[in-house]
Amino acid sequence: MQLDINGLTPAAFLAQYWQKKPLVIRQGFKHFQDLVSPEELAGLAMDELVESRRVYQQAGQWHAEFGPFDSYEKLGERDWTLIVQALNNWLPDAEALIQCFDFIPRWRFDDVMVSYATPGGGVGPHIDLYDVFICQGSGRRRWRVGDRGPHREFAAHPALLHTEAFEPIIDTELLPGDILYIPPGFPHDGITLEESLSFSVGYRTASAKDMVSALADHLSEHDLGAQQIEDPDRQLSSRSGCVDKADLARLRTQLTQVLNDDLVSEFSGRYLTQSKCALDLPDEPLDITQNEVLAWLDEQPLIRLGGLRCLYFEISLERGIVFINGERYQLPAELADVIPLLCDGNLLSKAVLAPWLNNAEFRAQLTEWVNLGYWYFDDLSDGEDE
């Protein structure tokens, strides 16, 4: 699967459009094939671990329901949409779509959302707080996108936040293989013209409020930031109720000294690798031995689990620090060079891992990750399902 951004290089797209203005990308994917069929999507929506919802209108009223679902008969043949979040957590083929956008780092990646809609279906005019590439699969949808501005939002349903009518700056139909990029803050509304599927590759960051709240929990859990203000050079005060400029500087310093690079990377690494949706992990760790891992590597590569988040920081890479699924792992410094292979790619072949497979600590750690389900052998999982 190859991406063509209207002839733009990824660098030109980032400079001209990313987080700046929307863009219609005609035939971004030539001969695009749906990642799932409507029937397969309905099957996923029956699973209680899969986050799904359906949105529809009846008698002019908006409705939203959350899965799992086992029937759609009451919805009829028009004006409804089925949405499944985190398709990449359950469908390995979604990885090829994500890789097309890897000029944006994976720590910014949210998920691949898939939407199936009948004619007239949509979720209503709304504003998102994330960047999204809406990749049109089969069928056609009409999209209207407005400009940024002080748009009034209101609850069309307790689970649906809509925005008031807007003047479109884009009004177009997407055909199979077309892509619509929408940055945060631009109101938009998509209405299906015929039965269709679309695949949305989303990128988001957390708000400062959410990050600060989670940071406070991290400090408390790990007993960090307990240092008290010291002021042996305090000057005489004549205003007992006043926090003067010097004291304000002390308070600011107390907070900023806590937020050094090591703490921010430690906290952020754990925070950013937590999956918001369930992963397809085994209920209990598997019982695969190191010798079995090595033997299977002779036959096939390890595949990283869909939706698994793993990352590293430049400042701590040489120390062997890697973050996977909300946990911090400390590898020996001599294994630091293997970390980018774990985090930057999807496959781990024996040839790629060869320089480190003689290291006992690496073999043990790799085997632990395989038993946790973070990396898996495709043929082995197929055999277990039979």
CATH code at 131? Answer: 2.60.120.650
> How much is the pLDDT for 380?
67
- Write down the residue that tokens 């349903």 correspond to: 157
Same domain for 185 and 322: no
CB 173 within 8 A of CB 141: yes
Q: Count Cβ atoms within 10 A of the Cβ of residue 111 and give its class: 0-12 exposed, 13-18 middle, 19 or more buried.
A: buried
pLDDT single digits (tens) 78-89: 999 999 999 999
What pLDDT is stored for residue 310 in this prediction? 97
Residue 226 confidence (pLDDT): 87
Alpha carbons 318 and 314: distance in angstroms, whole number: 8
Task: State the DSSP code for 234.
Answer: P
Instruction: Evaluate whether residue 214 is within a structural domain.
Output: no
* Of 142, 175, 203, the domain-final residue: 203
Whether residue 212 lies inside any domain: the answer is no
Domain-embedded: residue 155: yes
Same domain, 62 and 175: yes
Question: What are 263's two structure tokens?
Answer: 């703490």
Whether 155 and 29 map to the same domain: the answer is: yes
What is the residue type of 336? A
Q: What is the pLDDT of residues 339-355, one digit of tens each?
A: 999 999 999 999 999 99
At 379 the pLDDT is 79
CATH number at residue 333: 3.40.366.30
- 176 with 27, same domain: the answer is yes
pLDDT of residue 227: 87
Single residue among 203, 230, 264 that ends a domain in this structure: 203
Tell me, yes or no, whether 76 lies in a domain: yes
Please indicate, yes or no, if residue 229 is contained in any of the structural domains: no
Mean pLDDT of the chain: 94
pLDDT < 50: residue spans in the chain: 381-386
Q: What is the pTM of this model?
A: 0.91
Q: What is each CA distance from 200 to 86, 111, 190, in whole angstroms?
A: 10, 8, 12
- pLDDT at site 383: 40
In a domain, 133, yes or no: yes
As a whole number of Å, the end-to-end CA separation of the chain is 30
Strand order in the sheet with 196-203: 23-25, 179-182, 131-136, 196-203, 109-117, 80-84, 52-58, 61-66
Q: How far apart are CA 83 and CA 132, in angstroms?
A: 15
Contact 44, 93 (CB under 8 A): no
Instruction: Tell me the pLDDT tens digit for each residue of 213-272.
Output: 999 999 999 898 888 989 999 988 889 899 999 999 999 999 888 899 999 999 999 999
Instruction: Please answer whether residues 117 and 81 qualify as being in contact, where contact means their C-beta atoms are separated by less than 8 angstroms.
Output: yes
**Same domain, yes or no, for 154 and 295?**
no
Residue 98 lies in a domain: yes
| Closest to 196 in 3D by CA, of 176, 214, 216 | 176
Nearest to 355 by CA among 336, 369, 374: 336
- Same domain, yes or no: 184 and 299: no
Instruction: Domain count for the chain, please give it.
Output: 2
Q: Based on the fold, state whether residues 193 and 316 are members of the same structural domain.
A: no
Q: Taking the CB of residue 82, how many other CB atoms lie within 10 A of it?
A: 25
Residue ranges of alpha helices (H) inside the chain are 10-16, 38-44, 94-99, 208-221, 245-258, 261-272, 290-297, 339-344, 350-353, 360-372, 378-385
Q: Final residue of a domain: which of 203, 225, 254?
A: 203
Specify if 240 maps to a domain: no
By the 8 A CB rule, do 191 and 122 touch?
Answer: yes
Structural domain harbouring 36 = 10-203
198 and 93 within one domain: yes
